[in-house]
Amino acid sequence: MRSDLIFGALTHVKNRYQLCQLASKATRKLHKPNTRVQDTTNEVLGRFRSESPVHGTASLAHSDRVQNRRAA
């Protein structure tokens, strides 16, 4: 059930609002056409259960800044 996935993801993220924000951003980035958004959301929450999403966002933000510098 999704509640099990949410409570599992809360082991790495203490703030529920932050979890919702991170999950929605990750779902938008990982979603594939012709698949259900619900399945993508469940996959994202499953990934958050096994590894910290907060650590991943810092590295993504850093890589975006580096790419922007190179493009400019």
Q: State how many domains the chain has.
A: 1
- Full-prediction pTM beyond 0.85? no
What is the C-alpha to C-alpha distance for residues 53 and 34, in angstroms, rounded to an integer? 25
* Owning domain of residue 17: 2-71
Q: What is the chain's pLDDT, residue by residue, as a tens digit (72 residues)?
A: 778 888 888 888 888 999 999 999 999 999 999 999 999 999 999 888 888 777 655 444 444 454 445 454
In this structure, are residues 66 and 27 in contact, taking their beta carbons and an 8 Å threshold?
no
